[in-house]
Amino acid sequence: MLAKPVNRPIQTYSMYQVGVVEMLRILLVDDHSVVRAGIRQILQEADFSVDISEAADAASALKMIRQQDWDLVLLDIRLPDRSGVELLKLIKADKAKLPVLILSTYPESQYAVRLIHGGAAGYLSKDADDEEILRAVKIAAKGKRYLSNEVAELLANHISRGVQDEKMDCLHETLSDREYQVFLELAIGSGPNVIADKLNVSAKTITTHRARILQKMSFTNNAEIVLYANRHDLIN
């Protein structure tokens, strides 16, 4: 005799709980339309559904983030009106739990550790293959942190150096985000006017930042900045 069926409430699971990614609402922030189109194509060919919106500058991105709910932000570092480093801080101030995955042309050695510590869900080079980008998107959208092999090694080395000799090996970490941007530009030989154009500030402001960098790091000239940056693999 068949047992009498028991009426039980239907248990539901989120897509994330069963390992499937539901429709992801992704905001893609990059000032190059060609790059946005390429990333959009990669995402649209994934084995999960995406709803992608785009922003070409920090101001537009921040407005969209404040007005709508998102599952993930894909963020470039270099934007025309405000750096991605600064925008990440603003995003985290408004929506601390919103995952932000960095996609950049800058090498991992320059920004990855700083941005991960600043709350980024991961850091990927735009040269990463499609599979890695999609894997990072899936992981970050679940609220987890994606660490590529390169970034994981950088974090491990960072911790190791901090334990061994924090004062000598981590001087660049005493710099503010803006000072660090200027530091990297100085390290590759960029002049004040060039840096000012890149960061959308005046050359006088860059001169002021340079003075603060030299003071904080106890350096006397740009040559010492270049030497330090090379020794710590902060530039290619």
Do 177 and 65 reside in the same domain of the chain? Answer: no
Greater pLDDT, 109 or 137: 137
- What integer pLDDT is reported at residue 173 of this predicted model? 80
75-84, 133-142, 146-155, 180-189: least confident range: 146-155
pLDDT at 71: 96
Are residues 30 and 147 located together in one domain of the fold?
yes
Burial class (CB in 10 A: 0-12, 13-18, 19+), 59: middle
User: Could you tell me the pLDDT band of residue 67, with boundaries at 50, 70 and 90?
Assistant: very high
Are residues 180 and 123 part of one domain? no
Residue 13 is assigned to a structural domain of this protein = no
Q: What angle, rounded to 10 degrees, do the helices at 108-117 and 177-187 form? A: 170
- My answer on whether 93 and 45 are in the same domain is yes
Residue that terminates a domain, selected from 105, 123, 152: 152
The whole-angstrom separation of Cα 169 and Cα 216 is 13
The mean per-residue pLDDT over the stretch 124-151 comes to 91
In this model, does residue 13 exceed pLDDT 80? no
Decide if 19 is inside a domain: no
Examine residue 2 and state whether it is found in any structural domain, yes or no. Answer: no
**Is 133 found in the same domain as 59?**
yes
Statement: residue 59 has pLDDT above 90: yes
| Inside any domain, residue 105 | yes
Cβ neighbours for 152, distance < 8 A, ≥ 6 positions apart: none
In the chain, how many domains are there? 2
Find the mean pLDDT for residues 102-106: 91
